[in-house]
Amino acid sequence: MAAKDELGAVGEQIAVSMLRADGYQILGRNWRCRDGEIDIVARDPGADAIAFVEVKTRSGTGFGHPAEAVGPVKLRRLRHLAARWLSEHDVSAAEVRIDVVAVLRRRGASALVEHLRAVG
């Protein structure tokens, strides 16, 4: 596995662990269709919401904060993917949203994790 892919997989596992600790129910991981992939689909019981979670992991800030990688084009694609996922699954909630979990994992230090809710 390439170092970048390994970093991404570690970041996704950190995100799943954090979401579960916050009471989220993980409904899906790495769901794919011909149009792309959703990293995590989770139910936020505190808000009666389904969150489509994009995880961005970086080992440094040389290219900016990890969440900066989720711009308007990526958000548009995530909204489309969320609609496809919902059309294929019998799940409902009062709210549907796109979240980002940004993971900064520097060598020799604990990961910094930030959960940004309803980014788009």
pLDDT at 3 exceeding the cut of 80: no
Q: Are strands 49-58 and 36-44 parallel, antiparallel or unpaired?
A: antiparallel
CATH of the domain at 50: 3.40.1350.10
* Residues 105 and 59 sit within 8 Å (Cβ to Cβ): yes
Which contiguous run of DSSP H or E holds residue 27?
Answer: strand 25-33
- Condensed to tens digits (0 to 9), the pLDDT of residues 82-93 reads 999 999 999 999
**pTM (two decimals):** 0.93
The pLDDT value given to residue 1: 64
Q: What percent of the chain has pLDDT over 90?
A: 78
Domain that includes residue 59, residue range: 3-116
Of the pLDDT bands very low, low, confident and very high (cuts 50, 70, 90), residue 109 is: confident
Of the pLDDT bands very low, low, confident and very high (cuts 50, 70, 90), residue 7 is: confident
What is the pLDDT averaged over residues 22-29? 97
CB atoms under 10 Å from CB of 37, counted, come to 13
